[in-house]
Amino acid sequence: MKIILRDFKKSLLISLWFMFLTFPLVVVRVNTIENVVVWRWSNLIWVAAGSFFLSYLWRYMLARRNRRRKIAEEGVETRGRLQMLLENEQLRNRVLAILLALALVFPLVFDTYQTNIMVTALIFVVLGLGLNIGVGLAGLLDLGYVAFFGLGAYCYAILNHNFDLGFWFVLPIGGMIGCLFGVILGFPILRLRGDYLAIVTLGFGMLFRVIMENWETLSSGPSGIANIDRPGLFGLEMTLAQSTTYIYYIMVALVVLTIIVTNRLKNSRIGRAWIALREDEVACVAMGIDMGRTKLSAYALGAFWAGMVGVIFAAKTTFINPASFTFMESAIILSIVVLGGMGSILGVILGAFILILLPEYLRAFAEYRMLIFGAAMVLMMIFRPQGLISGLRQVYTYKGHKTHVGVKEQPINE
């Protein structure tokens, strides 16, 4: 009771302080046309109520975080209900099956505009899952991931514009181009970590944009490449709405494929090597894991998905230029991974939908979108640094075997 009363008093003082600071801005308004002063007292009431509520909520969340941390230090289980439910494989598979069914009927229920928005969200889902390999599993911070995305897009645009190659022929080529440049980027930075690794990858992303802007014979410079062919289906002529729906189903198939592959990789030998590299690089090398091959595989596989989805992006928009591949895109993809939960496939999908769909449906608050985005990320890092859904680790149980004398050994949990 004393703690509640103390927090109430502190929140009340903060509310009064905010009222004092914002009084000239939100209450007093001078009408220069009629030479009168307009007093807007209702604004002051909103400031007082909002600052009091946010302050009290802030203190409540801090107290809750401290209680969780104290319980965790005592060795007591601190997993939330959602986390415990997601660890149920049967329930998790049912949830994914329901989401897949909803995804398949989405274009049949909503119009072309909504389908087009969902295509963009699915593109960022694949990008987030690809970056999740390097950042979430291997712990390799990459601030230039958008460069691999752009390489795939320019690969299809150039081959289609100059050599008239089709979408389905270039799709795997775009992935392989991204994979190749992932290996090329990985070789010089094998021994870098932390801030140095972030700076090098950031420079790679900026270098890609500068080259595309100035190499006009290849990329048409800032003007970009237009009239890129959309995906074809046995030579059938499709309207814009039909083509959007077709691309949507292509993205759904690619998302499902990405989830299956990344999930298998996560629980494989190379996936556990990535996780070991993320947790402690020195111990990882001491245990005999090849650090160079492990890092290169993470960069190459992550870049592969970015290259493939870049081809789909170019086919969707039918026009690309260097302004489509800025650092902001890399920041958004990284935010998707961090917000959803590093190493968590379901968390990355949820994070992509939140960060891509919410700005589209909250256009009424367009002036405050970046403010809300920044505040949400700050609060996320303070109160839930592991993300919305933390990564689930596969647990293998050894059930023992019968000995010669008929005695069964006790189970050993890893």
pLDDT in tens, 207-262: 999 999 998 888 888 889 999 999 988 778 888 899 999 999 999 999 999 999 99
Whether the predicted pLDDT of 369 surpasses 80: no
Entry pTM: 0.80
pLDDT tens for residues 263-310?
888 888 898 899 888 888 888 888 888 888 888 999 999 999 999 999
* Helix %, strand %, coil % of the chain (to 5): 75, 5, 20
Claim to verify: residue 104 and residue 48 sit in the same structural domain: no
Claim to verify: residue 48 and residue 95 sit in the same structural domain: no
Claim to verify: residue 67 and residue 93 sit in the same structural domain: no
Claim to verify: residue 129 and residue 53 sit in the same structural domain: no
Establish if 270 belongs to a structural domain.
yes
Q: How far is CA 56 from CA 13, 64, 65, 70, 148, in A?
A: 11, 12, 14, 21, 44
Claim to verify: residue 34 and residue 96 sit in the same structural domain: no
Supply 81's token pair.
């209900």
Claim to verify: residue 35 and residue 160 sit in the same structural domain: no
pLDDT-derived band at 399, boundaries 50, 70, 90:
low
Average pLDDT for residues 184-208, to the nearest whole number?
85
Establish if 399 belongs to a structural domain.
no
Establish if 395 belongs to a structural domain.
no
Please state, rounded to an integer, the average pLDDT across all residues of the chain.
Answer: 83
Give the domain extent around 65.
2-73
Claim to verify: residue 172 and residue 251 sit in the same structural domain: yes
Claim to verify: residue 63 and residue 127 sit in the same structural domain: no
Establish if 33 belongs to a structural domain.
yes
Claim to verify: residue 44 and residue 153 sit in the same structural domain: no
Q: What pLDDT was estimated at residue 105?
A: 92
Are 165 and 159 a contacting pair, CB within 8 Å? yes
Establish if 392 belongs to a structural domain.
no
The secondary structure of 282-324, three-state, reads HHHHHCCCCHHHHHHHHHHHHHHHHHHHHHHHHHHHCEECHHH
Question: What CA–CA distance (Å, rounded) separates 97 from 94?
Answer: 5
> How many separate domains does the chain show?
2
Average pLDDT for residues 394-407, to the nearest whole number?
54
Domain end marker among 21, 41, 73: 73
Establish if 402 belongs to a structural domain.
no
Claim to verify: residue 174 and residue 232 sit in the same structural domain: yes
Cα angle value 245/355/61 (rounded, 5°): 145
Instruction: Indicate which CATH number applies to the domain containing 247.
Output: 1.10.3470
Establish if 295 belongs to a structural domain.
yes
Average pLDDT for residues 387-414, to the nearest whole number?
56
Claim to verify: residue 359 and residue 256 sit in the same structural domain: yes
Establish if 371 belongs to a structural domain.
yes
Claim to verify: residue 171 and residue 318 sit in the same structural domain: yes
